[in-house]
Structure 1
């Protein structure tokens, strides 16, 4: 297993000695070299700083547990785009008897109503007869449940799908740490509480922005964000645990997760991809570069469910388009000019100003995309990739997404090439 996702390939520090530090009292099974081992690993770009030691008593206790049951599943982040589709996929699986969706209620909406609104928005098929909603918080101790409720939940679950996260690109890693790193430690502890459970954690290929020593010293930005740093840290931790028999984990690194192969509906403007498409429509051009890596939401759900139910689940997957394509396809479907990166940047700067271009496009998105959107796609061996028809899928996506002209506020014209 590659312990350092986007690692530097060089050791910036000596291998860290095993120590006996708890990062959080909510995960007593894992010991680290220091209380802030994650911060040290990120600050130095050294994955070995985050190498955990499994408590010996925990190792003996878990060794007596049977393999995870495969008929019950807990979805954390069930009210999100991916989480709702995953609930639908699991609920329609004949081998699954119960799907537990953990959702936070708001002051104005119940957890059930929030889930139903997401299901309706994306037209997800769900067998609600199999779905049990738990009002909980994946970032809180014991998920915000009382001890009895937490123990009962731990007794009943076999598969955990951790889709909960924050796509906040403006907050620092320190701001995100308590919620999204410490919460992963709590989920790991939950996975060996009462029974052994298999965790599928949804990571991000954005973690691959961190490849060289200087990447870890960059100031935070839209691309080199606290969110990407959090995904790097969590991927490193899971990489170490994949080599240990105590925990059963799968890191599922995700590219852009777009709409399903049949509906084509996704969060739209919440994605930076769609913002870039809006800019391209506004200037009538897109640069001649590689198409982004993506996976339809129903495909990633299928892969995650099939893998977790396998006799030997893969420790790392990267479900992504298995064949390459380029922005020429976008240009054809949207009626845009295909230009060089410099020309594309100049058109945006001329129309919207240098400040807007620098903020939206960074130094060079083309370089970043070539770094992050790697050609590899990692699927289970028997996965059928016939879904990957780029033209058909982007015709569907461009015809269903609601865009607007970023520079005028008007709704963007519909796709012209389909």
Structure 2
């Protein structure tokens, strides 16, 4: 599945002849039992293949370092929806003095302009005096920085938040691997250079789709995508490192991240959730199933920042709605019929198009949501869950959403 061809001696020729050298150069502190450990783990559904060995010299060197400092932070994916809100949250924290925002400039806009545009788009309150722009990217060696700047940051940064990721569900793991698996190794190495740092990595509950051996062998689809596979691989690796004494990491497995509890603004159609809502409105019905797991963006930012700045941060977080609910709430708020899954699929086929039903609903979304959106939430012990008022929040979200109108078509 992830190799070019089977050779005559029964061995596999990998797609990336340089990949082992690349891993070694990007993260010399870690070693794996074999080449392409992530590929083996994913192909076999075996996270033990990703169990790393920590270089002894790295272990001894890090053991002599003091704990990560909490007054400085660096955010990768700073210009994204979550990253920009997290920067706002960190700059408003009296314990944090400096936040480095990693942003790439474009031909049209400087890095500062891009970040400010995101702040403005979502009305994010920030203390700009604390922000320092880093024109870089986690997808390049040393984040695209010169050596002097890299080591300067490695000395000064105490907390690292990785909110950067691909959101393209059409690319395979092969296409995402060099950027989004290697970048995690690159960031892990940064956390043990010059000073010890705590890494908070934003994963996805989409990785939970991969549970049985058959799940790893099925063809890619919108749901069983290269993106979800990448999140599974990275979560497996960080799971092993979370029990080490060398790397300080927190895996934050995110459900759908929706707008804040007060403003309710989010990227809208970038999320498959909103596309499903559009379909439901177009056919006048939604199926009788469980509501998705979600978390408002201000809540997840509070959770990540508060946990990272704690003297003993949790190794795993899953911030999501603390009480369950069903699609009957969506039906009531949007004026929709509540029907069975089978009738919902039939309505989509008749009122939109059979082809649309075959593609968008190719996998049974009801079963997938029941599999992934479990009634599970992992918060720090002092977390206040009073924000979880489903009716108030979805009234806010549906009022703020800018949805595309799907025009029903007649089927002869």
Give the TM bin, normalised by the shorter chain: over 0.9
Q: Residue deviations 1:329-376, cap 9 Å, x none?
A: 000000000000000000000122222112112231000000011111
1:287 lines up with 2:287 in the alignment: yes
Which residue of structure 2 lines up, in the alignment, with residue 116 of structure 1? 116
Structure 1 residue matching 2:386: 3-state secondary structure:
coil
Q: Which runs of 5+ in 1 are unaligned?
A: 1-19, 410-418
Would you say the 8 A contact 1:23–1:36 is kept in 2? no
Query: CA shift at 1:74, angstroms?
Result: 0.1
Taking the aligned partners of 2:22 and 2:284, their CA distance within structure 1 comes to 54
Would you say the 8 A contact 1:22–1:32 is kept in 2? no
Which residue of structure 2 lines up, in the alignment, with residue 262 of structure 1? 262
Which residue of structure 1 lines up, in the alignment, with residue 183 of structure 2? 183
Query: CA shift at 1:21, angstroms?
Result: 8.3
Query: CA shift at 1:407, angstroms?
Result: 3.0
1:90 lines up with 2:90 in the alignment: yes
Taking the aligned partners of 2:22 and 2:38, their CA distance within structure 1 comes to 12
Which residue of structure 1 lines up, in the alignment, with residue 12 of structure 2? none
Would you say the 8 A contact 2:255–2:295 is kept in 1? yes
Q: How does 1:377-396 map to 2 (within 5 A)?
A: 377-396=377-396
Taking the aligned partners of 2:352 and 2:22, their CA distance within structure 1 comes to 50
Taking the aligned partners of 1:83 and 1:308, their CA distance within structure 2 comes to 15
Query: CA shift at 1:311, angstroms?
Result: 1.4
Q: Residue deviations 1:184-220, cap 9 Å, x none?
A: 0000000000000000000000000001010000000
Would you say the 8 A contact 1:22–1:35 is kept in 2? no
Which residue of structure 1 lines up, in the alignment, with residue 16 of structure 2? none
Q: How does 1:136-147 map to 2 (within 5 A)?
A: 136-147=136-147
Q: How does 1:14-29 map to 2 (within 5 A)?
A: 23-29=23-29
Which residue of structure 1 lines up, in the alignment, with residue 344 of structure 2? 344
Kindly tell me the number of residue pairs found equivalent between the two proteins.
Answer: 390
Taking the aligned partners of 2:22 and 2:168, their CA distance within structure 1 comes to 27
Q: How does 1:151-170 map to 2 (within 5 A)?
A: 151-170=151-170
Would you say the 8 A contact 2:352–2:408 is kept in 1? no
Taking the aligned partners of 2:26 and 2:58, their CA distance within structure 1 comes to 14
TM-score by length of 2: 0.93
Would you say the 8 A contact 2:351–2:408 is kept in 1? no
Structure 1 residue matching 2:137: 3-state secondary structure:
coil
1:150 lines up with 2:150 in the alignment: yes
1:253 lines up with 2:253 in the alignment: yes
Which residue of structure 1 lines up, in the alignment, with residue 62 of structure 2? 62
Which residue of structure 2 lines up, in the alignment, with residue 37 of structure 1? 37
Taking the aligned partners of 1:68 and 1:119, their CA distance within structure 2 comes to 28
Moved more, 196-205 or 307-316: 307-316
Q: Residue deviations 1:19-71, cap 9 Å, x none?
A: x9873411100000122000000000001111100000000000000000000
Query: CA shift at 1:404, angstroms?
Result: 1.8
1:233 lines up with 2:233 in the alignment: yes
Taking the aligned partners of 1:49 and 1:249, their CA distance within structure 2 comes to 20
Classify 1:39/1:210 alpha carbon distance in 2 versus 1 (closer, same or farther; 3 Å): same
Moved more, 346-355 or 164-173: 346-355
